[in-house]
Structure 1
């Protein structure tokens, strides 16, 4: 089952700045991708781009994830008021998912009931996801586990985006994250992160059978929403990696 999504940050930043995100929708659709992840930080003019972007998204029938570089919880543990803004933007785009980062969740002070009450009042198809980001607090396994455990207890409808490469930036072990967090995951970002000349860089998925990205592919079902979050050039290359990820998911289903 192909539920592979292409994030806009997989394309060259200069091309995105020059052409806008809309210009890449046809490339993604032509590769038979399931959907697109639009990125808030890449807008040049949200209101202007929305006029042509939204009808094209509907025409191409792409599943839409809206990624916003917004932390759910502020430094004092309070709910970030920016949630309202980015949630409304996600609705305007017709997105099915809104991806945020955890921020400074404090189990003693962060008001999960307030968040649940707010979400319960939204007559919306947008589901909120929290991603393990590259910060030491938002990409910390224990912090994330505390949040999702507490959220589950009160029936808070928030899932997780599991980024396979970001654990390298926070010094966490992906296998430990899988063991503790896999039950909360709704969406997986596939990429490989390696050290090159003293820096961590994001690379395309290796086709080697022992590659690290295959471990989560074996844990999560084939039907899971999955993203190719690494440099991509064109439709043919996207097709190649859709096949690679889909085959890995199918193999994991066969081995269950």
Structure 2
């Protein structure tokens, strides 16, 4: 029997409209009830911009901590602009919000990374920050290519800032880029600090996130290739007719998978 790992429930698993209507705290409580160790707040699911104000973030973060959960703060902002420059404004805003919230991780999209990682600049902004930065492979060509992520971590090492931040490896998102997740897991595993767990069903524009099947050997092989100790986030939708049971089932399954 392998040791269980921390399972995070991503807010969107409960349905985007439900989170916008009821607020994150309700679904954080449902995550605790399901046995999760942590909860991922999604900035794009706030009902209005006032929810991202420092006082509101602090209050939400404290309430989630009081439930006995740690947290991830996710923003759809990208670390690099389309022309490959560091988006300093996006990074600093995300760090400020995640710090007010009290997150363990702050998650951004990669964006338009080209060849220069700006490692010294990023390391300077992160110095003293009580939150760990991770960038996620997205579904779009910009910020979702395997070559970009390999290039990013090569550039950080070349600039002398290897390990200054890490990666959220989204297993399902590689499907949107026609990359086998197992092919990505090998070269990127050393940099993975958080895993988004889902598969994809359908084709092209009609592709949707889904729960991995119990007998999905490819999904199991990807998990085996990635670090065992890093937290695993549930990012596929729960069945709206049995949300609580679904959440508890998948938390227990993923913790031991």
Alignment of 1:19-30 (within 5 A): 19-30=22-33
Alignment of 1:7-156 (within 5 A): 7-44=10-47, 45-46=50-51, 47=53, 49-50=56-57, 52-80=59-87, 81-107=89-115, 109-120=116-127, 123-153=128-158, 154-156=160-162
Structure 1 stretches of at least 4 aligned residues deviating more than 4 Å after TM superposition: none
Count of residues in correspondence between the two structures: 244
State the TM-score, normalized to the length of structure 1. 0.89
Corresponding residue of 2:193? 186
Does the CA-based 8 Å contact 1:192-1:203 persist in structure 2? yes
Does the CA-based 8 Å contact 2:192-2:227 persist in structure 1? no
Corresponding residue of 1:251? none
2:230 to 212, 215, 224: 224
C-alpha distance in 1, partners of 2:41/2:85?
Answer: 27
C-alpha distance in 1, partners of 2:151/2:219?
Answer: 25
C-alpha distance in 2, partners of 1:119/1:50?
Answer: 20
C-alpha distance in 2, partners of 1:197/1:130?
Answer: 24
C-alpha distance in 1, partners of 2:191/2:203?
Answer: 32
Does the CA-based 8 Å contact 1:222-1:246 persist in structure 2? no
Deviation at 1:130, TM superposition (A): 0.8
Root-mean-square deviation over aligned CA pairs: 1.9
Per-residue Cα deviation, 1:73-124 (whole angstroms, up to 9, x for no partner): 11222211211111110001110101111111121x553222222222xx22
2:169 matches 1:166: no
Q: Which structure 1 segments of 5+ residues have no match? A: 249-256
Are residues 172 and 41 of structure 1, via their aligned partners in 2, closer, same or farther at CA, if it must alter by over 3 Å? same
Deviation at 1:10, TM superposition (A): 0.7
